[in-house]
Structure 1
Amino acid sequence: MPKTRAAVPEGRRPTLADVARRAGVSTALVSIVMRGAKGAGAATRERVMEAAREIGYRPDARARLLRSHRSHLLGVQFGLQQPFHADLLESVYAVAEPAGYQIAVSAVTASRDERRAVEALLADRCEALILLGPQAATARLAELAAQLPVVSVARRLRPAVPGVEVVRTADDEGARQAVDHLVALGHRAIVHIDGGRAPGAADRRRGYRAAMKRHGLSEHVDIRPGGLTEAEGATAARAITASRPRPTAVLAFNDRCATGVLDVFLRDRVAVPGDISLVGFDNSRLAGLAHIDLTTVGQDIPTLARLAVGRAIARLEDGGEPPAGERVVAPRLVVRGSTAPPR
């Protein structure tokens, strides 16, 4: 007769002792198997793992960490409303777990600022922090770096903050690629909807200006206030639709901003790309949806995650101060259906 899970009382979580009884071995031997330590043969390991599967035993990772001198936890601060951060977070998990580290996440929301998000990670005994698009003052970053390794992702730090490593995309190059693409299509009146003080915004402004100047279009430089969200993109779009003459192309700060622009254009019967071409930034999953089909500057998310996690783990395993300099990752323009030659 096959074994069942009836060996464990209903409602109680199976323990190592339950697995040991099921497999007919000692609890100490089960612990060796579950930790992947030496001291158990292949046949015994298989018997123990089969017993664990039969009764539904799952190791309590947090309890094991609390018993150890290290937590092997990497804390990740991210923006809850940022699709780009969600994509990054997925890749961070994919890199960290095979390396033997777990991820603790803490979100920044409209009602929960970065300080609270980070304090929650510190309370979880995280050994290092990976901050996605942090907007904290450099003094605050330096304060954190004095406590544990810190990696800032997607934000250039000028001046550099001692102890804080930076992994970012070459945002200025991304903006240049977008302008080059639009100019090659025949556009001259190209508006840039700005990201304000958001991480990466200054570099994207600089890249836009430099590219326009290089193409002899300095007189057409037009930077409009914007931001990270759909609402801020929509506000900028309403000003653009009311302007005369209208630009023939728009480079938005990011894909969320571009989505807000697209919504207003559609409502005002401004055809994209027929009347105005539109480019976003990030290549988030949002951009690839069929009804959005947004040309955008893609950030290499797997590489950003690999570098960020790799640097955090290297600091923990090797110790010492981080090497000088940033890790800067090249962007790549992704052309879809929102750009075309001007009429």
Structure 2
Amino acid sequence: MTLHSPKARRPTIYDVAKRAGVSPSLVSLVLQNPMKVSDKRREAVQAAISELGYRPSRAATTLASSRTKSIGLVIDDYRNLWFVDLLRGMESVLSDLGYQVMLADSRPGENRIKEAVDGLLAMHVDGLVIAAEPSESMLAKTWVPTVVAGWRKGVPGGADLITNDDDGGGGMAASHLLGLGHTRIGHLSGADGASAHRRAGFRQRVEGAGVDVVIAESEGTSEEDGYAAACWLLDHHPETTAIFAANDTMALGAFAALKARGLAVPGDVSVIGYDNSPVAKSRYLDITSIDNRSDILGVDVARRLLARIEDPGLEPQRKLIEPVLVVRSTTARPASAQSK
């Protein structure tokens, strides 16, 4: 007969202390501030932790200090993959310091972002990163250190803003298409703050070159929005030879609209996106895109937020990160120019 052994007990800080031959308070000090402990004793505690498989209780840590070691990140849509690099950059700074990032998806809407932020604040996060359009109720003031990532229509009072130079990025996209010889250009845009800056930079550069641009603007920036905007653009302006999408996700919608009309990319119409997201980097899609360097943005956002947590009295900061053009296979000279 086989008997089931009793369920193993979770190791405690007292077990670690006994194994290492030190006091529980010294184990706690190693967990909280290891550099204050001698190498010999620190190594003994760390060895005991490894041998026993001990995992510190976050709840206990929270009670022992006034912090939860957690950061709230609010994004606008999981389907828009630009935030992947943002999150990776943040975690490269925060993880080594014992912080965890708690993610909330607000989707468009005043109530949704309020619910997302309220949910994170209810978990007593130490800081907040807003990578979505803030609600009206948030614009007056935030109650925890807050950094806004990317251009938004408004920035909460007292919050920092760290963003890509989207005006410059839009101008880069325009210069690339103009340099290839395109003069019949369309732009798929959204209604959010980042889209507005990308649109303004793109339009200024194109019109400054004496070329007209047709803007197809949607409320959102999803693949479906990109498809609908591209359909309108191609139906009303079939002479279009190049499309600049406000992000890589909208560019996917443009591909679908072009395919439905029997048009090839870039043979008939060149397409350039924005964000240099995992979608653009895909070897199959290989989309020309403006790299907004979200990983660098994430690093700067995390560092600034940590500084605000340590000193809430710091004056709000505004910082721009320069984008980079990444040329791939979805842009080329227009067919008319190639035949000459």
Same structural fold, with TM-score higher than 0.5 when normalized by the shorter chain: yes
2:270 is equivalent to residue 277 of structure 1: yes
SS at match of 1:319: coil
2:173 is equivalent to residue 178 of structure 1: yes
> Are the structure 2 counterparts of residues 36 and 274 from structure 1 closer, same or farther at C-alpha, using a change threshold of 3 Å?
same
Aligned to 2:189: 194
How far off is 1:300 after superposition?
1.5
Percent identity between matched residues is 34
Asked if the contact 2:88/2:295 (under 8 Å) is kept, the reply is no
2:326 is equivalent to residue 329 of structure 1: no
Q: In the alignment, which of 303, 307, 312 is matched to residue 300 of structure 2?
A: 307
Asked if the contact 1:253/1:281 (under 8 Å) is kept, the reply is yes
CA distance in 2, matches of 1:81, 1:62: 32
CA distance in 1, matches of 2:244, 2:64: 52
Aligned to 2:53: 56
> Are the structure 2 counterparts of residues 235 and 18 from structure 1 closer, same or farther at C-alpha, using a change threshold of 3 Å?
same
- The amino acid of 1:153's aligned partner reads A
How far off is 1:223 after superposition?
0.4
SS at match of 1:297: strand
Aligned to 1:3: none
Asked if the contact 1:194/1:205 (under 8 Å) is kept, the reply is yes
Runs of 5+ consecutive residues of structure 2 not aligned to the other structure: 336-340
Q: In the alignment, which of 138, 141, 144 is matched to residue 140 of structure 1?
A: 138
Asked if the contact 1:163/1:321 (under 8 Å) is kept, the reply is no
Runs of 5+ consecutive residues of structure 1 not aligned to the other structure: 1-7
Asked if the contact 1:81/1:109 (under 8 Å) is kept, the reply is no
> Are the structure 2 counterparts of residues 314 and 33 from structure 1 closer, same or farther at C-alpha, using a change threshold of 3 Å?
closer
How far off is 1:265 after superposition?
1.7
Deviation digits for residues 168-221 of structure 1, max 9, x if unmatched? 1111111111111001101000001111x223121122112211121111xx22
CA distance in 2, matches of 1:149, 1:167: 14
SS at match of 2:193: coil
> Are the structure 2 counterparts of residues 199 and 12 from structure 1 closer, same or farther at C-alpha, using a change threshold of 3 Å?
farther
Deviation digits for residues 107-154 of structure 1, max 9, x if unmatched? 2247981111101111111122110132423x42223x2x22221111
SS at match of 1:240: helix
Q: In the alignment, which of 89, 108, 115 is matched to residue 91 of structure 1?
A: 89
Deviation digits for residues 224-250 of structure 1, max 9, x if unmatched? 123310111111222334345320000
Aligned to 1:4: none
> Are the structure 2 counterparts of residues 212 and 56 from structure 1 closer, same or farther at C-alpha, using a change threshold of 3 Å?
same
2:197 is equivalent to residue 206 of structure 1: no
> Are the structure 2 counterparts of residues 244 and 134 from structure 1 closer, same or farther at C-alpha, using a change threshold of 3 Å?
closer
Aligned to 2:160: 165
Greater alpha carbon shift after TM alignment, 121-130 vs 65-74: 65-74
CA distance in 1, matches of 2:71, 2:226: 34
- The amino acid of 2:205's aligned partner reads A
CA distance in 2, matches of 1:329, 1:228: 22
Q: In the alignment, which of 200, 203, 222 is matched to residue 214 of structure 2?
A: 222
2:41 is equivalent to residue 44 of structure 1: yes
2:147 is equivalent to residue 151 of structure 1: yes
Asked if the contact 1:134/1:152 (under 8 Å) is kept, the reply is no
| TM-score (norm. length: structure 1) | 0.87
Aligned to 2:103: 105
- The amino acid of 2:171's aligned partner reads R
CA distance in 2, matches of 1:37, 1:309: 22
CA distance in 2, matches of 1:39, 1:240: 64
Q: In the alignment, which of 69, 75, 78 is matched to residue 72 of structure 2?
A: 75
> Are the structure 2 counterparts of residues 245 and 98 from structure 1 closer, same or farther at C-alpha, using a change threshold of 3 Å?
same
SS at match of 1:113: helix
- The amino acid of 1:87's aligned partner reads D
CA distance in 1, matches of 2:35, 2:134: 46
CA distance in 1, matches of 2:330, 2:36: 61
RMSD: 2.4
Asked if the contact 2:153/2:193 (under 8 Å) is kept, the reply is no
CA distance in 2, matches of 1:234, 1:187: 22
CA distance in 2, matches of 1:161, 1:132: 12
How far off is 1:302 after superposition?
2.7
CA distance in 1, matches of 2:328, 2:169: 16
> Are the structure 2 counterparts of residues 199 and 13 from structure 1 closer, same or farther at C-alpha, using a change threshold of 3 Å?
farther
- The amino acid of 1:63's aligned partner reads A
Asked if the contact 1:132/1:154 (under 8 Å) is kept, the reply is yes
2:110 is equivalent to residue 115 of structure 1: no
> Are the structure 2 counterparts of residues 259 and 70 from structure 1 closer, same or farther at C-alpha, using a change threshold of 3 Å?
same
How far off is 1:26 after superposition?
3.7
